Amino acid sequence: MWQPAGVEISEVDLVHVVDRALDGMSCILADLGDDGANGRPDLPGANSPYAIVTHCLGVLDFWVGQCVAGRSVQRDRDAEFRATGPVAPLIERIARAREQLAHDIAGVDMTGPLAIERDHPLRGQVRTRGAALLHAYEELAQHHGQLELTRDVLLAGRNA
């Protein structure tokens, strides 16, 4: 696998880019309010903003909490996409996830192996803790964009 020499990602850098994605998600949820955040665009398979953010928190728990930090995480990925509820507690969960992220990656060896069982199917896909952290950020950035588009579609439907 190609890896550029001398490229390092610090804990501060990672927390910064993750915070930007989570800030954007929190703002979108707050702007949409409870009804808007639980709405789904009239598109096949579309998810609500609430579900998208719930899924992102599951991504952080699994990829950072379990794969990097070695915390035991119970996750129901399918339920994340069915999640509904008021916005305020979800925004509070985002704030707690930020704190947990900083704790989980403090002093992490980015080149170290994943903190999961040797026979786990992900071992062949993602080999280091640094790669797991990059994947977690990749998912957050992707879903932040999805959330922005979902918000725009929902707001356009309100104004039609």
Taking the CA of residue 75 as centre, how many other CA atoms within 13 Å lie in the half-sphere pointing to its CB? 20
**114-136 average pLDDT score:** 79
Q: 113 forms bridges with which residues in the sheet?
A: 128
Q: What's the confidence (pLDDT) of residue 148?
A: 98
pLDDT per position as a tens digit, 77-86: 999 999 999 9
* Pairwise CA distance, residues 108 & 105, whole Å: 5
* Pairwise CA distance, residues 150 & 131, whole Å: 28
Helices (H) and strands (E) in the chain, counts: 5, 0
pTM metric for this prediction: 0.91
* Pairwise CA distance, residues 109 & 94, whole Å: 25
Q: How confident is the model at residue 99 (pLDDT cuts 50, 70, 90)?
A: very high
Domains of the chain: 11-38+46-158 (1.20.120.450)
Residue 115 above 70 pLDDT? yes
